[in-house]
Amino acid sequence: MQRPLLASSLALALGAFCTTSATAASGGQIPAVEPTELIARDALFGNPERASVRISPDGNYLSWVAPYNGVLNVWVAPANDPARAKVVTRDTARGIRDYFWSYQADTLLYLRDTGGDENFHLFAIHLADGSSKDLTPFDKTTARVYGISDRHPESIVLGINDRDPKWHDLYRVDLASGQRTLLHRNDDRIGSYQLDGDYRLRYATRATDDGGQELLAADGKGWKQLERIPFEDALTTEVAGLSDDGATLYLLDSRNRDTSALYAIDTASNARTLLLEDKRADISDTLLAPDTGVVQAASVNYLREEWKVLDQRIAADFQKLKSLGNGDASVTARTLDDATWIVAYSAAETPLSYYRYDRHGDGKLTKLFSARPALEGKPLAPMWPQEIPSRDGLKLVSYLTLPEGADRDHDGKADKPLPLVLFVHGGPWARDSYGYGSYEQWLANRGYAVLSVNYRGSTGFGKAFTNAGNGEWAGKMHDDLLDAVQWAVKTNVTRADEVAIMGGSYGGYATLVGLSFTPDTFKCGVDIVGPSNLNTLLGTVPPYWASFYQQLTRRMGDPATAIGKQWLSARSPLTRADRIRKPLLIGQGANDPRVKQDESDQIVNAMKAKQIPVTYVLFPDEGHGFKRPENSKAFNAVAEGFLGQCLGGRVQPIGQDFDGSSISVPEGADKVPGLGEALKTHTQAVRQ
């Protein structure tokens, strides 16, 4: 049975042309590095040529997402002849990104929401006749996939919250007819389910009132508590899988230790076997056998991801994948007979490429596609892992990207100070990792050093590090970012007066905190879908986050209590909006269900009331982040001009990068060079 795919995530997880340099600022601004080729924004943020490559379980088809009429759609080709690919979806909006194969012959499944509202519906495509069926045709409903089994190829198991938006009932859904059969009515606040290969409900998790979790076992009559997971372990302990025969439960567990280790639990005897542990970091990923669901390999990600083979039958295969280079290889799809793998390979300065690996015979690796061939041969920059000390002794795993030509001896140290962009990840219960990143490459190419910091509260480094962020929004979490900036100044990466802060979601909040709580630290800031008022943020979370809500309030503050409400207000940038005095750019999606438009509206209105300049970019057809490439390019064109004016980096003119975008600028278009004129041209073109 394939590992369940959930439609929602708690983390945010963003040819020849003319170029110009931004107007240099006064006061001894750091000059940009010597010019290298300016990489077009379209190559970095436009549609990939091909991505999300898969192979069907029977090995008959290759599939991928690629543009069709400018929008990402699913394409399918005979496995032995990719050139005969045909598009099988016809989305005309934000594109298809999440899709997978069922075990029913010639049947493919994909998830799609509307305008970024995260109400994901699951569709089935039948290749024989090209028909498509919405398997979850209900309003304001988000589907979660809990079971896809080769033992029952005619159906799948879904969580559907059409009865109660807070909780997902469990249904078995027929792929041909769409008929659903109730397996479990969720009157007991279940957050997630585990089924075996015969779709028997075996385990579930449920949030406790104190923000912890309990692992429940089905006993035929109801639920029996199998494991109690305290609040302190709730983000570092979780089920990692169940073998198809139901004999082995895999658990990532940080109880009685710091980092989460991988255990195999015999479901008959409850005997535990330790499979993998690392004192530096949590177990980050697992690889399951396609025919049994048994864990065959697992990874740890400290500075870089490291895989450990647990099943010697695939040891030679993992050794073969090392021949691709010193970057990161991951297995993204396998046929049911395990004869063929699809492998994705990338490094920080190497965009994603896909390979077909035929295990039988000589173990041939055949390159299929590059996701972004327009970037091949371009001056992409390496990424340097760092361990930065915090003021109270924590190690902050971070990543430094330096522009081409700024590190001539390639030792990861800047030859001279550069303007720096502190790029803050979202979540905050997520992490930055080594690898190719379009934002890092874009900013480095424009002449900036880029520093990404895993501040306390980030996940992946053990429960103590994650829990150190509890109650520290705009506190020690922000201190970690300030300490990282000071490290960059001390190591000659930058100067203290030439640092911008930028990020999305929590990273957007960190940007607003940087400009309002420490108004003299950063030269400017770019906030993408960041909350400004923590009370209203928690008051408007999506209803299907109910199982996570107690954790949110314990890690932040409870708006239902006077103390919690006061704390949330004190840590909200909106409360200190009048202290902002450095340039600020805000980007927002009007349909964002997590950080609603009102979060941006509130701080923009507060700044306007105090006559503080701000530039506000709004997209009416986006949600939590900008998924349509036209909108992503448009916002980044604005951000590039904004940062160029602030830090003096290189700027590619906006040109045609508003084409096809829904961009609007309710406030401050005159604050970014060229923005007003580009908007006028764009508006005229749309009207024609």
Q: Do both 567 and 598 map to the same domain? A: no
Tell me how long the chain is: 688
Q: Do both 561 and 472 map to the same domain? A: no
Q: What are phi and psi of 346, to 5 degrees?
A: -160, 155
What is the structure's pLDDT at 386?
A: 98
Q: Do both 395 and 471 map to the same domain? A: yes
pLDDT along the chain (688 residues), means of 10: 47 32 44 78 96 97 97 97 96 94 97 94 95 95 97 98 97 97 97 97 96 94 94 97 98 98 97 98 98 98 98 96 95 97 96 96 92 96 98 98 95 96 98 97 98 98 98 98 98 98 98 98 98 97 93 95 97 98 98 97 98 98 95 98 98 96 97 96 85
Across 171-180, b (16+ Cβ under 10 Å) vs e yields bbbebeeeeb
Closest CA to 43 of 423, 351, 327, 329: 351
Closest CA to 200 of 151, 266, 269, 135: 151
Q: The CATH number of the domain where 599 resides is what?
A: 3.40.50.1820
What is the structure's pLDDT at 23?
A: 33
Q: Do both 623 and 565 map to the same domain? A: no
In a domain, 558, yes or no: yes
In a domain, 61, yes or no: no
What is the structure's pLDDT at 14?
A: 26
Residue ending a domain, among 306, 325, 356, is: 306
Q: Do both 425 and 547 map to the same domain? A: no
Q: From the centroid of its chain, how far is CA 333?
A: 20
Listing DSSP states for 142-174 in one string gives --EEEEE-TTSTTEEEEEEEEEETTEEEEEEEE
Q: Do both 293 and 428 map to the same domain? A: no
What is the structure's pLDDT at 494?
A: 98
In a domain, 652, yes or no: yes
Record the pTM: 0.94
In a domain, 343, yes or no: no
In a domain, 659, yes or no: yes
In a domain, 238, yes or no: yes
Measured CA angle at 292 (ends 291, 298), to 5 deg: 105
Q: Do both 473 and 579 map to the same domain? A: yes
Q: Do both 541 and 592 map to the same domain? A: no
Q: Do both 645 and 522 map to the same domain? A: yes
What is the structure's pLDDT at 4?
A: 53
- In the block, residue with structure tokens 């709004």: 618
In a domain, 183, yes or no: no
Q: Do both 564 and 591 map to the same domain? A: no
Range of the domain at 539: 534-571
Q: Do both 290 and 382 map to the same domain? A: no
In a domain, 140, yes or no: no
Active site residues: 505, 592, 624
Q: What are phi and psi of 230, to 5 degrees?
A: -65, 160
CA distances from 522 to 5, 31, 61, 603 (A): 40, 17, 51, 18
Residue ending a domain, among 306, 337, 355, is: 306
Query: Is 223 within 8 Å of 217 (Cβ atoms)?
Result: yes
Q: Do both 506 and 544 map to the same domain? A: no
Omega before residue 57 within 30° of 0, cis: no
What is the structure's pLDDT at 220?
A: 85
Residue ending a domain, among 290, 306, 322, is: 306
What is the structure's pLDDT at 271?
A: 97
Helix or strand or coil: residue 374?
helix
What is the structure's pLDDT at 17?
A: 28
Helix or strand or coil: residue 319?
helix
What is the structure's pLDDT at 487?
A: 98
Q: What domain count does the chain have?
A: 3
CA distances from 459 to 258, 456, 502, 522 (A): 12, 8, 20, 26
Closest CA to 402 of 451, 363, 361: 451
